[in-house]
Chain A
C-alpha cells in the first residue's frame, strides 16, 4: 500500500524530466566508472549514517563500560588518585553479608514477581484469543493499562496501599480474611511480597500482549484437526498451544530475568527515605548505588557492577536454556 502511494508520483518526476530509456543508455556507457564511484559513494554514506550512533555509543556506552571494568580493580572515591588494588574490591564485596542479602532479595522478589506472570499471562492471553469471547478489546486495553504507568507511580500507589499503618488498605483486606495486619515496609516478607505484587501488577499485561501475539500466530486449522481427532481443550492447550508458544515464552523469560535482576526503582521509591538504611528489600542495584553515591566507594561499586553483569548473563543463559529444553522430549512438527 505504502509503496503504491510512492510509485506514481515518483514516475511522473522521472518521466517528466527525461526519457528513462535514454538515460539508461547513457548510463550503460560509463557503467564501469559509475559503478565504482557509486559503490564508493554508498560506502561513504553507509559509514556516515551509522556514525552518529557509534560516536555516541563510543563516548557514553563503550567507554564507561570499559572504564567500569577497569575501575573494579581500583580504589577510588571519584576525586583523588586511583589506586590499583587487584581483586580486593571483589573480595570486599563477596565477603559483605549485605551483598549476599541483596542478591537473595533480588532473586526472591524476582521469582515471586515474574514467575506467576508467566502462568497468568498465558491463561489471560488464551482467554482473550478465544473466538467466542466478546469485548476482547476492552479487556485487552484494561489489562495492558498498568504497563503505561511509571515504576515510580506504581511504587507510590502501592506504597500507600501497603503502608505500615494498621489501617492500610492491604491490612484491611487481610483482616477480612481473618489475618493479622502486616508491617509491609519493615518486615522481611512484607516488603518482598508488596514489591513482588507491584512488579506483577505492572508487567502481567505486557506479557499477556506478547503471548496473545504468539497465540494469534498459531494456525487455526491445527485446533480444528485436533478437535476432529478427539482432543479436548486441555489436551489442545498442552500439546498445541504451549509448544508453539515456546519462542514467545523464551522471550518473556529472558526479558523477565534480565529485568528482575536490575530491580531498583520499585524498592527505592516504595521505602522512601529509609530505602538505603534497611536490608529487607535491598536489591543488587541498590547495593551498588549505595556504595557509589552514598558511601563514595566507586571501586567496590564497579566490582558489584561487574558481578551483576556476570550474574545477569549467567541467569539469562540458564533460564533461556531451561525454557528451550522445556517439553523437548515430546516430538512435534516444524
Chain B
C-alpha cells in the first residue's frame, strides 16, 4: 500500500534528502580521498587547493608499501587469524549455546550468569597477566598468541543459546533420542543445519572484530614477520617523516577486501549489528 506512495518524490521531503545525501557524502568522502591520495605522489599533499582527483602513482605508492612492510604476509596472517578464530568461536559457542538451551545440569544458571558478567569486564583488566602468560607459553609473535584471546566470546554463546532455544523444537530432539541418536549426533545432524543463519551473523561479528582489533595484536605481535594488517599499517606511521601517499596506499589496499566483502553481504552485515546487540 504505502509502497505505491513512495514511487514519486513527495513534496516537503527535499530537506530530508539533502540531510541524508550530506551524511552519505561525509561517510564516503574519506574512502574516496584515501583512494586519491594512494594514487598521488606525497608532494601533492602540499598543493593548494587540495587535489581531489586521482593521479597516476597507484602502483608506485603500493610498491613503496611493499618495500616498507611485509604487506602480503600481514594480509595472509590476518586472514588466517580471522578465519581460525571465527571457526573456533562458532564451534565453542554453538556447543555451549546448545547445552544452555536444551540440557538441564546443576549450576547451569550460575554458569550462564557468569558468562554474561564476563561481557562487562573490560578486556584491558587482564592485559598484563595475559601478556605475561602468552610470553611464558612462548606464544609471543605467533598467531596462536594473537588469536587465543578472541576465542572467548560471551556474546556468541548468548546468541547461540537464544537461537537454539527458539528454533530447535524439543519434540524433534525427543524423537531423535527415541531413535537412539546420541547427543552429539543431535548436535551435528539436527542443530547445526538449523542454526546456520545464526552462524552467518556471529561469523560476521567475530570476523570483523578480529580484523579490526588493535590493542592485543599490537601488544603480542612485535616481530614484523608476525604482523597482522592492523599492526603493520600502524607501523607505517612511525617514521619521522611519513610519506602520505605510501601510507594511504597501504590503508587503501588493506581496506579494499573488506569493502568488497561488505558490499557483497551488506544486508547480513547490517542485520548482524541489530541481532548482535539487541537480542
Which A positions have Cβ atoms within 8 angstroms of B?
2-3, 6-7, 10, 13-14, 17, 20, 23-24, 27, 38-39, 41-43, 45-50, 52-54, 56-57, 59-61, 63-65, 67-68, 71, 78, 120, 123-124, 127-128, 130-134, 138-154, 156-161, 163, 165, 167, 169, 172, 201, 205-206, 209-210, 213, 248, 251, 255, 258, 261-262, 264-265, 268-269, 272-273, 285, 288-289, 292-293, 298, 301-302, 305-306, 308-309, 312-313, 316
Please tell me if the beta carbons of A2 and B194 are within 8 angstroms of each other in the complex: yes
* CB within 8 Å for A172 and B48 given contacts A131-B6, A152-B212: yes
Please tell me if the beta carbons of A56 and B151 are within 8 angstroms of each other in the complex: yes
In the A-B complex, the 6 residue pairs with the closest CB atoms: A64-B126, A46-B103, A150-B212, A64-B129, A46-B105, A49-B99
Chain B residues with CB under 8 A of A145: 27-28, 31, 259, 262
By secondary structure, the A interface counts as: helix
Please tell me if the beta carbons of A56 and B148 are within 8 angstroms of each other in the complex: yes
* CB within 8 Å for A3 and B167 given contacts A133-B13, A209-B274: yes
Please tell me if the beta carbons of A45 and B183 are within 8 angstroms of each other in the complex: yes
Cα A226 to Cα B248 in complex, Å, equals: 51
A-B contact pairs, 15 of them (CB 8 A): A6-B193, A27-B178, A49-B187, A50-B111, A59-B133, A60-B149, A133-B20, A144-B269, A146-B30, A159-B237, A165-B45, A167-B48, A251-B278, A298-B128, A308-B125
Cα A288 to Cα B96 in complex, Å, equals: 34
Cα A214 to Cα B73 in complex, Å, equals: 42
A30 to chain B, nearest CB (A): 13
Q: Which of B10, B28, B278 contacts A210 (CB 8 A)?
A: B278
Chain B residues with CB under 8 A of A45: 99, 103, 183-184
B87 beta carbon closer than 8 Å to chain A: no
Please tell me if the beta carbons of A65 and B28 are within 8 angstroms of each other in the complex: no
B159 beta carbon closer than 8 Å to chain A: no
Please tell me if the beta carbons of B10 and A132 are within 8 angstroms of each other in the complex: yes
Cα A319 to Cα B171 in complex, Å, equals: 44
Per-residue A-contact encoding for B115-139, CB less than 8 Å = 1, 0 else: 1001011111111111111000000
B12 to chain A, nearest CB (A): 9
By secondary structure, the B interface counts as: helix
B273 beta carbon closer than 8 Å to chain A: yes
Please tell me if the beta carbons of A43 and B24 are within 8 angstroms of each other in the complex: no
Q: Which of B98, B149, B234, B263 contacts A268 (CB 8 A)?
A: B234
Q: Which of B129, B237, B269 contacts A272 (CB 8 A)?
A: B237
Please tell me if the beta carbons of A53 and B273 are within 8 angstroms of each other in the complex: no
Please tell me if the beta carbons of B194 and A3 are within 8 angstroms of each other in the complex: yes
B204 to chain A, nearest CB (A): 10
Number of interface residues of B (CB under 8 A): 112
Please tell me if the beta carbons of B125 and A65 are within 8 angstroms of each other in the complex: yes
Please tell me if the beta carbons of A148 and B259 are within 8 angstroms of each other in the complex: yes
Chain A residues with CB under 8 A of B157: 53
* CB within 8 Å for A49 and B274 given contacts A17-B179, A23-B178, A153-B233: no
Please tell me if the beta carbons of B244 and A163 are within 8 angstroms of each other in the complex: yes
Please tell me if the beta carbons of A78 and B132 are within 8 angstroms of each other in the complex: yes
Chain B residues with CB under 8 A of A158: 30
Which A-chain residue is minimally distant from B156 (CB atoms)?
A53
B229 to chain A, nearest CB (A): 8
Cα A158 to Cα B172 in complex, Å, equals: 54
Q: Which of B37, B106, B270 contacts A160 (CB 8 A)?
A: B37
Chain B residues with CB under 8 A of A78: 132
B81 to chain A, nearest CB (A): 13
Cα A262 to Cα B21 in complex, Å, equals: 32
B268 to chain A, nearest CB (A): 12
Chain A residues with CB under 8 A of B111: 50, 54
Cα A27 to Cα B24 in complex, Å, equals: 64
Which A-chain residue is minimally distant from B195 (CB atoms)?
A2
Chain B residues with CB under 8 A of A64: 125-130, 133
Q: Which of A133, A144, A258 contacts B122 (CB 8 A)?
A: A258
Given contacts A49-B98, A63-B129, A306-B125, could you give 8 more A-B pairs where the C-beta distance is less than 8 Å?
A: A53-B92, A131-B6, A143-B24, A150-B212, A264-B215, A268-B234, A288-B124, A305-B125
Please tell me if the beta carbons of B214 and A152 are within 8 angstroms of each other in the complex: yes
B116 to chain A, nearest CB (A): 13
